[in-house]
Chain A
């Protein structure tokens, strides 16, 4: 069974760093891209960027380039989303999703990140 399991909810202060994770199982982790998607409270879905776990090649949305870093460790089938300095506006639910030509077919359960002083 294909699964993407994300790390748990986080509460952080502005300026702090954070890394959240997404562990894939039940499929060949290096055969599909992993994307990260943001959903701010009560809002729609925003694509942040993606990584090819086979070689860690990344693409970012211009809206997120320079503010987050996407990485992966194929040896443990895990992708990461990282911030070096969080802002209150980073408060959101973050989803990882697997995708290929057939759309974003499997999603993680989401990680809620709350940034508040």
Chain B
């Protein structure tokens, strides 16, 4: 099983700041199958990034993904008030079982 580790656990930032979230895999993940999701309280997760760097439909361009192999990054260039949430990375095609990271909470400083 591929274990995903996310850091930091919590990121405290102000609106307008840049957020950099890390996701590390215990073994190489095909970039084609690394995704990022945003989840707000009481809501289902929402797909932000698939294939490590492709934005899902309707996702603002302040969200970007990068990385390959075992190291992946989600960057939010300028935090908007609606971006404060929990973010999960996921590998969904490299190998079964699919796995999620434990999440990074981005909260308001």
Using CB atoms and an 8 Å cutoff, list the residues of chain A in contact with chain B: 35, 37, 44-47, 49-50, 59-63, 95, 97, 99, 101-105, 107-110
Contacts and interface: CB of A to CB of B under 8 A. Distances in A.
Contact of B37 (A46, A49, A104): A104
A39 B56 CA distance: 23
B99 interface: yes
* Interface size range of chain B in the complex: 20 to 34
Nearest to B35: A103
Contact of B97 (A44, A47, A95): A47
B47 A109 contact: no
B35 A104 contact: yes
B88 A44 contact: yes
Interface string B48-63: 0111001011000000
- The binding surface of chain A is classed by DSSP as strand
A108 B56 CA distance: 17
A104 B99 contact: no
Contacts of A44: 88, 100-103
B73 interface: no
Contacts of A49: 97
Nearest to A108: B44
A102 B97 contact: no
B98 A47 contact: yes
B88 A102 contact: no
Interface in B68-98: 88, 90, 92-93, 96-98
B35 A47 contact: no
21 contacts: A37-B45, A44-B101, A45-B39, A45-B45, A45-B90, A46-B100, A47-B97, A47-B100, A60-B97, A61-B96, A61-B97, A61-B98, A99-B92, A101-B32, A102-B54, A103-B35, A103-B90, A103-B92, A104-B92, A105-B57, A107-B45
Most buried by B among A63, A103, A105, A108: A103
